[in-house]
């Protein structure tokens, strides 16, 4: 177990040799990483405090370097520091982190880097919990969670042809299906849902990797890519089946949805009317609705409605798109 004295010795006398090394040009790193990841890891930046859900997530798994995938920390060594950044008590192995004196900003700190690729991770402090007393204060943008269980999100925001096309393009999204949820009729058909008597909304069900894309970011994208202030309406599409809705799969998802809506309310001139309710059941839509844009991108509706929507989405969230 590393101690503060051990770390000071490494700063003074040199770091342990890594198991391997990874070197790339700045251009290669820029092509691989998002803008934020590059700024943090390669330019020694710092993300804003409390900007990531990673601070409060404690599911089992391993955290690796976003640049070179070297395993750095075990979730079992993660703790709630209330600092605004993910915090750990120990690295997974003593030689995966290198330590460097950092006198920037008129402060004396010890910088931590990935010992494999020299990515800036954050800093380490001697104010952590016993028995080691260390706090590895890391940038979430420098880490990737691996060994996690895929999660599910269910949203509605108008015609599911549009919403499906948006979320299919996100890095970390494993699958998207169009369907119906939020109502009372079992096994509804598209015709029945369009009648507005089933209580169901047109929704998409997303399977995503929380190590690459967190739920709160999915919510922000959802609220930014439709109008959540119009009740039972998206553009010319009117009816309860087109309502803005978030179907939460857990209490945690419900709390996160409430928090993100409150956060984003300032971006809208009118009150957000998005419905939040517990998820009960998802009914997959008919086969011709699945991957509609992918199969019919030249159709009139896709050209007139979905293409402009996708253009705005790609401009807003270019750092989260699949490459």
Catalytic site positions: 137, 159
Question: Closest Cα to residue 179, out of 245, 128, 114, 126?
Answer: 245
Question: Closest Cα to residue 162, out of 12, 317, 307, 319?
Answer: 307
Dihedral pair phi/psi, residue 123, rounded to 5°? -140, 160
Dihedral pair phi/psi, residue 196, rounded to 5°? 80, 15
Residue whose pair of structure tokens reads 């928090």 in the numeric block: 259
Give the pair of three-digit tokens for residue 322: 């699949």
Residue whose pair of structure tokens reads 């770390």 in the numeric block: 7
The Cα–Cα gap between 160 and 288 comes to 12
Question: Closest Cα to residue 52, out of 68, 65, 36, 39?
Answer: 36
The Cα–Cα gap between 198 and 308 comes to 31
The Cα–Cα gap between 287 and 284 comes to 8
The Cα–Cα gap between 46 and 208 comes to 26
């Amino acid at each position: 177990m590393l101690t503060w004295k051990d770390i000071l010795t490494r700063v003074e006398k040199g770091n342990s040799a890594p198991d391997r090394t990874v070197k790339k040009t700045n251009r290669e790193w820029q092509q691989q990483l998002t803008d934020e990841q590059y700024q943090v890891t390669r330019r020694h930046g710092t993300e804003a405090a409390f900007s990531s859900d990673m601070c409060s997530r404690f599911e089992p798994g391993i955290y690796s370097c976003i640049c070179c995938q070297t395993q750095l920390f075990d979730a079992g060594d993660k703790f709630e520091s209330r600092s605004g950044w993910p915090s750990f008590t120990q690295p997974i192995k003593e030689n995966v982190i290198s330590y460097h004196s950092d006198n920037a900003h008129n402060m004396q700190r010890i910088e931590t880097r990935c010992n494999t690729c020299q990515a800036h991770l954050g800093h380490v402090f001697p104010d952590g919990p016993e028995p080691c007393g260390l706090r590895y204060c890391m940038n979430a943008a420098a880490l990737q969670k691996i060994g996690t269980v895929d999660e599910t999100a269910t949203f509605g925001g108008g015609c599911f042809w549009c919403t499906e096309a948006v979320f299919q393009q996100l890095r970390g999204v494993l699958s998207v299906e169009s369907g119906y949820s939020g109502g009372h009729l079992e096994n509804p058909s598209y015709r029945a849902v369009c009648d507005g008597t089933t209580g169901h909304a047109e929704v998409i069900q997303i399977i995503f990797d929380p190590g690459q894309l967190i739920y709160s970011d999915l919510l922000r994208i959802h609220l930014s890519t439709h109008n959540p202030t119009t009740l039972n309406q998206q553009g010319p599409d009117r009816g309860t089946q087109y309502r803005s809705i978030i179907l939460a799969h857990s209490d945690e998802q419900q709390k996160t949805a409430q928090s993100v809506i409150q956060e984003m309310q300032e971006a809208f001139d009118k009150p957000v009317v998005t419905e939040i309710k517990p998820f009960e059941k998802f009914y997959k839509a008919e086969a011709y609705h699945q991957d509609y844009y992918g199969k019919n991108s030249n159709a009139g509706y896709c050209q007139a409605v979905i293409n402009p929507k996708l253009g705005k989405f790609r401009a807003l969230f270019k750092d989260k798109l699949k490459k």
